[in-house]
Amino acid sequence: MRRFGAAENPTFELICVYLNSYNILFERFVFSVHPAYRLSKTFFLCRKDRVIFLNAWGEGMERRKVVIIGSGPAAFTAAIYAARANLEPLVFEGFASGPSGGQLMTTTEVENFPGFPDGIMGPVLMEHFRAQALRFSTKILTEDVVSVDFSRHPFLIQGAQTKIEALSCIVATGATAKRLDIDGAKDGEFWQKGVTACAVCDGAAPIFRGRPLYVIGGGDSAIEEAIFLTKYASRVYIVHRRDQLRASKIMGERALKHPKIEVLWNSTIVKITGDQVVQMVEMKNLVTGQVELREAGGVFFAIGHQPNTAFLQGQLQLNEVGYIVVQAGTTHTSKPGVCAAGDVQDPRYRQAITAAGTGCMAALDVEKWLNEAGHE
């Protein structure tokens, strides 16, 4: 599209460009002062149920009552509730940042999500979430959000290809499990075929029952995962690079005293092998350099998660490890009109069901905020 100079009258050109695409065009609509535009003369177009503003440079920007960033259980649950409240949500489900559907897209059978007594494959579950959101006319854009501007209102959400104004926003971008670069642990190797990063999610799976399991890490999370896995494993080994745990004293004592847990000090796994699933690990002692081949039924990373918040560029309050801080008992963030749901604000539970619950909360929170702010 051609850009117009400040002295030009773009009315006729705009009609030619847009009349076939939009139902109604109001010429020479003057919008007095708006921070989104550099010029006061603005053209106002309506298309069915949406409003789009065009400034005198000829740039269009769609405005939505709520924009949801993310594509996991939290994001799509928020979309379902927001759509049923007639908030006409728009979802940026991502593209290059990872598969739409979040971490469940890389899992196999999910056995602990209510309503599926026989279990359900993670990708299939997320297809159901997405289809239900679409059923209620949620608009989904398959592109990443590269930046947001919460310093102005309406908020500006900049996608890889699309720019949207939002009266409210729900951030549900999740958190990514940290993994070590171990031969055999990558996608396309044994990831989700015996290698995982969530004992609570996957530990009860048949492939892990009665087998020796390995937990990589040395903090409280690693101890919690190891203790949980003792319910199913023949024995649990905590693999730690140092000669003492980083966990709190009480958690460390629990691990050391547990009859089914053994800590492998100054050790690291250098390779994971198997057939269709994990069968063996190669363990290296970092002091002696000796490599030992050991039987294994599974390997669990417990070295933390990285919240997907980099695109926020410090515009919301985060805790010391990067999770979005929300007001207790709500999903409200430090910025009025912006809510957070799912793992991006949950360093503790990190479950699909809790993510979905906070997605529901976020939709209800933004609905109430929009009403109170007069954006009905």
How far is residue 209's CA from residue 298's CA, in Å, rounded to a whole number? 10
Catalytic one of 144, 202, 343, 365: 202
**16 labelled catalytic:** no
Catalytic one of 118, 169, 183, 198: 198
- The burial class, CB within 10 Å (0-12 / 13-18 / 19+), for 44 is middle
Using omega within 30 degrees of 0 as the cis cutoff, is the peptide bond preceding 117 cis?
Answer: no
How far is residue 78's CA from residue 359's CA, in Å, rounded to a whole number? 4
Catalytic one of 201, 339, 343, 346: 201
**202 labelled catalytic:** yes
Residues 6+ apart with CB under 8 A from 55: 36, 37, 38, 39, 42, 43
**198 labelled catalytic:** yes
**For residue 374, what are the CA distances in angstroms to 46, 68, 167, 335, 340?**
21, 20, 11, 17, 21
**Residues annotated as catalytic (active site), given as ranges:** 198, 201-202
